[in-house]
Amino acid sequence: MSKDSQRFTSSAARVLALLVVILIGLTFMTDRLITSSENQVFRDQYQEIELGMEESMVVSLLGAPNDRLGAPNDRSPEFNEGQSKDFEESYRRAAESDAAYYLIWNLGSDEVYAIGFNEVEQVVIVEAGS
């Protein structure tokens, strides 16, 4: 192999490696932008939740609750924002509410949204943390 063809092969390999890195970066950024915009839509809809709203309306607005892995999350008898440190007030309000159960949405960016419902399936507490 001549020196010119070796230089061409070496240059082509560098360019190809650079293109692969750029493609991976663009894929990552596109995923982050899509996730960020989906999360913003969720946050906007979450702001529409009001005390007294029925569970069916909440679920139709926000979608089914999920855990950190995206699996369906059934009604939880316990309030959970992922951690209690720095969220003591949220836990206090939840304990003082007459919530019989909670639905919890976990967004991939460690954002936790918990909504408590009473025995007649109406919102009695709305909390968010991260």
Q: What is the pLDDT along the chain (130 residues), one digit of tens a residue?
A: 566 666 667 777 777 777 766 666 555 554 444 445 668 888 899 999 999 999 999 999 998 888 545 555 678 888 876 666 667 888 888 888 999 999 988 886 678 889 999 999 999 999 987 6
At residue 29, what is the residue type? Answer: M
| Domain extent at residue 2 | 1-47
Same domain for 54 and 29?
Answer: no
For residue 52, the model assigns a pLDDT of 97
Give the predicted TM-score (pTM) of the model: 0.65
Facing residues of 101 across strands? Answer: 117
Same domain for 68 and 128?
Answer: yes
Please provide the DSSP assignment of 70-92 as one string: S-B---BSS---S--TT-HHHHH
For residue 33, the model assigns a pLDDT of 45
Under 8 Å CB-to-CB from 46, ≥6 apart: which residues? 62, 113, 126, 128
Rg (CA), the chain: 23
Same domain for 59 and 110?
Answer: yes
